[in-house]
Amino acid sequence: MVTDVNIPEAGDLDAMVAAIDHLPFIVAVFEGPELLMVAANAATRAVLPGRDFLGRPCREVLSDLVGQQFVDAYHEVYRTGEPITGRQWRAHLDQPDGSVHEMFATFTIVPWLAADGSVRGVIGAGFDVTEQARARQAAETEADRLRRRYEQSRDVVTELQRALLPSGLPVLPGLQIAASYLLADADTAAGGDWFDAMARPDGLVALVVGDVVGHGITASGTMGQLRAVLQERLDAGASLTEALAAADRFARRVPAAHATTVCLALLDPGSGELLYCTAGHPPPLVVSAAGETRFLPVTGGAPLGTGGAFPVRQDRLEPGDLVLLYSDGILERPFVADSPSSAPSAASTSSAASTSSAASSSSAAELARVAADAAAGRALRDPSATVAERVCAQTIELLVRAGGHADDITLLAAQRVTVVPELVLERAADPASLRGIRVELGRWLTALGAAEHDAFVLQHALGELTTNAIEHAFSGVSPAATEPRTIAVRAVLTTAGRVEATVSDHGGWRAPERQPIRGRGLALTAQLVESLRVEPGENGTVATVRHPLNRPARLLTGFDDAPRTPEPAVLLIAELPGDDETQVRLAGPVDAASATHARQELLRRSRGGAVPMTVDLTGVTHLASAGVAALFQIAEQHHDQKAALTLIADPGSPAREILDLVGLPVTP
């Protein structure tokens, strides 16, 4: 393989530029300590349209790649004189129209040597392999689908690990929490890493990352037991020292738990006060709102079961600051120069000096730099993710692709954010208000950081309650009353991570009746949320729902996310390919405001149920009880006319979840 390029200094560079311009792959030539670009061929200009190239530093030409390791690679080759090769690296490139283009590149960067052997510059040559990468991803997705059932029965360790780790993390006022877990890239499969985050009754939030020595079923089972011990003690209000002492007693009795390392922290989201203990574990990393990083001092705690104490230290997070807990798998990557020999695992020693050394090693410095880039949005673009989610997911992706990984890797991040105010809405008691209430509620839930499924549940539940209030709750009010008829919606996120929402009116309560397109709202709501209470009174009715918010943790097997399709704002009814009006697709909300139109349109197209019909509900974003009742009526019409009705809804979609609850047959 060619490791350097020696181009004579004599002569003009124009000849070289003209020659490389016709090469069918990306070529970029940089010269001098600042790596000024002196040549870029047509393929390079096509990938980077609208840029001023020649005579400009590499960091300016490729400014959008600064946080994605490409620019660092060019400077590293110039500094060391050693080539760097990358295979199918993902990159996000800013386009002239403001969009972001994602591509995958396979490349080699080599030193450009002067006649005397000194490094004159660097030359990068690469291929756009996006098509091949996408094909690989599609093939891997299909292969994963085909072998999933087999793996679920075979890979007991991995499934046990997933079952023992938390499926979600609480959404809390003033705090955004995220976690990512990457399984070991080894035959031993999953190991004993774990993470946890829990809101305590005293308002503090407990953050835990631990690492049981070893891999396999024993390590996973031991991890689950230790996690349960710490959960129970922390939920009961124990201090850090008391909780770790309980886990230490367990580790003394169970040999598999011996030398387990733990980083345990208690954070007050309101004041930012942080208490923490590093029991033989690497110290937390803090990324400030300004992008500065610092590793907290180790506390000198010993691994569990080794006879040491558990001293606690205190720190404080300012608004916008993020604290990152991690396992040593992110530091001990096989292809990082100082790992594992010069950055020892905290699991192998209890000395504060060793942990401090790990925090100051180049692998830890790289962790800090990449985490800061991800927090600031300088790495891969992911506008839908929170800062904590970007740090957890992108830090793993960017570090592992360059350094590999042999052990499990766990990251847990918590960022102090502005508390989202209580939602207070008062709207006219009119079906036309439903969509506006749903939109406002959706914005509020998005601001909280609610996951898509929780947002669906609460929008659906409150949509049913507001519909009830509008249609039923004013039966006791005199038609001659002059005050406007309104309903009020209030919602707040409690420190326990639960949304408490009320819908109230000013009329008399009337029990739900079975009407053509009504009567199922309260039953659906009760099945969707944690609790529902309806309290009729002389001055109106108050309906209250409570539902916990959890944001899913990322248990990683890859790093590719499918793009989301924007949701239609109003109900759309369109024919499926083939121009057959009895083959239709619904997209958008089917609620009290649109259900009548949907029912009438579907009955018209099916000649009152006399003609077989297929209705694709995959694009339905909100299926209220009014829509369910309309579908039941259409199904009854088709049954009476002995004509088939086929409803299509993807598993996991909003429509499918509701249809499964009410028992309407659906395909697939």
> CA-CA distance, 396 to 327, in Å (whole number)?
11
Closest Cα to residue 410, out of 173, 647, 166, 645?
166
If you count DSSP H runs as helices and E runs as strands, how many of each does the chain have, helices first?
Answer: 17, 28
- The CATH architecture annotation of domain 155-416 reads 4-Layer Sandwich (3.60)
Q: pLDDT band at 177, cuts 50/70/90? A: very high
Picking from 507, 527, 530, 510, the residue whose alpha carbon sits closest to that of residue 518 is 510
- The values of phi and psi at residue 84, to 5°, are -130, 135
pLDDT band at 151 (very low <50, low <70, confident <90, very high): low
Mean pLDDT of the chain: 84
Helix runs in 155-253, H state only: 156-164, 217-235, 240-253
Q: Which residues contact 478 (CB under 8 A, 6 or more apart)?
A: none
Place 561 in a pLDDT band, splitting at 50, 70 and 90.
very low
For residue 359, the model assigns a pLDDT of 43
Residues 6 or more apart from 219 whose CB is under 8 A from it?
190, 191, 192, 212, 213, 256
What does pTM read for this prediction?
0.70
Taking the C-alpha atoms of residue 571 and residue 592, their distance in angstroms, rounded to an integer, is 12
Q: In this predicted structure, what is the pLDDT of residue 476?
A: 54
Give the mean pLDDT of 59-84: 93
Q: Do domains 423-552 and 567-662 have the same CATH topology?
A: no
Asked whether the beta carbons of 485 and 473 are under 8 A apart, the reply is no
Predicted confidence band at 352 (pLDDT cuts at 50, 70, 90)?
A: very low
pLDDT score of 403 more than 70: no
Least confidently predicted of 84-88, 140-144, 303-307, 543-547: 140-144
CB atoms within 10 A of CB 421: 11
Comparison of pLDDT for 264 and 642, the residue scoring more: 264
**Per-residue pLDDT band at 515 (split at 50, 70, 90):** very low
- Residue 348, pLDDT above cutoff 70: no
Query: Which pLDDT score, from 0 to 100, does residue 571 have?
Result: 86
**Band of residue 240 on the pLDDT scale cut at 50, 70, 90:** very high
What DSSP character marks residue 565?
P
The residue ranges of every structural domain in the chain are: 5-132, 155-416, 423-552, 567-662
| pLDDT at residue number 437 | 93
d(CA 221, CA 224): 5
In this predicted structure, what is the pLDDT of residue 153?
43
Query: Confidence class of residue 623 from pLDDT cuts 50, 70 and 90?
Result: confident
Provide mean pLDDT across the span 320-348. Answer: 66
Q: If you average pLDDT over residues 489-510, what whole number do you get? A: 87
Local structure of 298: helix, strand or coil: coil
DSSP label of 301: B
Check pLDDT > 50 for residue 317: yes
- The alpha carbon dihedral of 478, 481, 486, 492 has a sign of negative
* Per-residue pLDDT, 159: 65
More confident residue, 17 or 604: 604
First to last CA, the chain: 53
Q: Could you tell me which residue, 405 or 33, shows the higher pLDDT?
A: 33
Rounded mean pLDDT, 348-356: 37
Q: Comparing C-alpha atoms, which of 525, 511, 439, 548 is closest to residue 172? A: 548
Look at 236-250, 281-295, 650-664 and tell me which has the smallest mean pLDDT. Answer: 650-664
Determine the Cα–Cα distance for residues 609 and 630; give it in Å rounded to an integer: 13
pLDDT band at 146 (very low <50, low <70, confident <90, very high): low
Give the pLDDT confidence of 228-239 residue by residue, as tens digits.
999 999 999 999
Taking only the tens place, the pLDDT of each residue in 184-222 is 654 445 568 899 999 999 999 999 999 998 777 788 889
Q: Tens digits of per-residue pLDDT, 111-142? A: 999 999 999 999 999 999 999 988 888 888 87
Residues 563-608 have pLDDT tens digits of 344 556 678 888 877 667 788 999 888 888 888 889 988 988 888 8
Fold of 567-662: Transcription Regulator spoIIAA (3.30.750)
Mean pLDDT of 540-546: 91
Peptide bond into 668 cis (omega under 30): yes
Just give the CATH number of 423-552: 3.30.565.10
CATH classification code of 5-132:
3.30.450.20
**What pLDDT, on a 0 to 100 scale, did the predictor assign at position 152?**
52
Of residues 472 and 47, which shows the higher confidence score? 47
The structure tokens listed for 566 are 């924007």
Look at residue 197 in the predicted model and tell me its pLDDT: 96
Burial 300-314 (b: 16+ CB within 10 A, else e): bbbbbbeeeebbbbe
